[in-house]
Amino acid sequence: MTDTFTLVHLSDAHLGPIAGFNLRHFNTKRLLGFLNWERGRRFVHLRSVADRMAADALAQNPDHIAVTGDLANLGLPAEYSSALGWLATLGDPERVSVVPGNHDIYTGRMGGASCLETWAPYMRSSESWTESAPVHFPYVRTQGPVAVIGLNSAIPTPLFVAAGELGEGQLSRLALTLDRLRDAGFIRVVLIHHPPLPDQAPPARALRDAAELQRVLERCGAELVLHGHNHREMLAWCPHAGGGIPVLGVASASAGFAHKREPLARSHVLRIRRDDGGAVRIDCEMRGLDEPDGPVVSLARRELVMPVRP
């Protein structure tokens, strides 16, 4: 373990092809989602690109990999199994953390195992990741100076709605968790699928309790928040006493072709350290495709600096 902690952020792989869609899984939302996939999205989200992005992530020698949801498309058990295989290529569960997205918990009619069961080893806290107990959110995974805090914003929604919600209980537990980890001296990295601040997505796609989450972050603090969902690069700052909290969104990890406002496949390589004065510094490198058939390359870099914790 070096003084610099390397964390790779991937999201929204939307792994294909869709398999296992039969009568016991059928409802109108899944049917329309399947048609949308067949008519367009399957030409954008390519498993071959997701595999190349995974290989590039490993080439960065990361200490940890964070995946912020939407590995599936229609929330089918066969998709969960396929995604589990892709997660295994990223590494062992203790070094890979996942939170679910709205496509992973797509509908109330599951018709089989949930992603919370299939991907459970990647969503359990450090002290229980080898156990068989149900997953609880927020989970906490500590490694070196960093604590990864995983949230579940995915809820079943009706047609044409991709909103998320944490709920009062999860928000209350998050506040206690952030305070505890701050007092223990950890660099706190929060994972969530939906953009966590108000007005970062249209109402039908937004986090319904984003204002409540922002108040928790303002009060308790964190050093970094990572999300997906919007399929594009985003950087916002959440106010906090003593300085802002960077809120960083990443584009899809499988986009082989640009689609509307969505770029080609992207990842973030985050090199996190404390300087001699105690401030947290994050070197943020964006990697991805510069052209559809090109290699995965470095596209941009910037440094995010959080002031010394008061």
Task: Dig out the tokens for 35 from the structure.
Answer: 């048609």
Q: Which of 174, 212, 210 is nearest to 193 (CA)?
A: 210
Delineate the domains of the chain, giving CATH numbers in brackets. Answer: 5-306 (3.60.21.10)
Helices (H), 60-96: 77-90
Q: How many residues does the chain have?
A: 310
Confidence (pLDDT) at 307: 65
Which amino acid is it at 223? E
Task: Dig out the tokens for 298 from the structure.
Answer: 């470095």
Residue 282 exposure: Cα atoms within 13 Å on the Cβ side: 24
pLDDT tens digits, one per residue of 27-62: 899 999 999 999 999 999 999 999 999 999 999 999
Q: Quote the CA–CA distance of 253 and 271 in Å, as a whole number.
A: 19
Q: How many CB atoms lie under 10 A from the CB of residue 156?
A: 14
Q: Quote the CA–CA distance of 43 and 232 in Å, as a whole number.
A: 18
| Percent of the chain surpassing pLDDT 90 | 83
Tokens 């984003």 belong to residue:
210
pLDDT tens digits, one per residue of 222-243: 999 999 999 999 999 998 876 7
Confidence (pLDDT) at 1: 38
pTM over 0.85, yes/no = yes
Q: Quote the CA–CA distance of 38 and 115 in Å, as a whole number.
A: 23
Q: Quote the CA–CA distance of 60 and 74 in Å, as a whole number.
A: 31
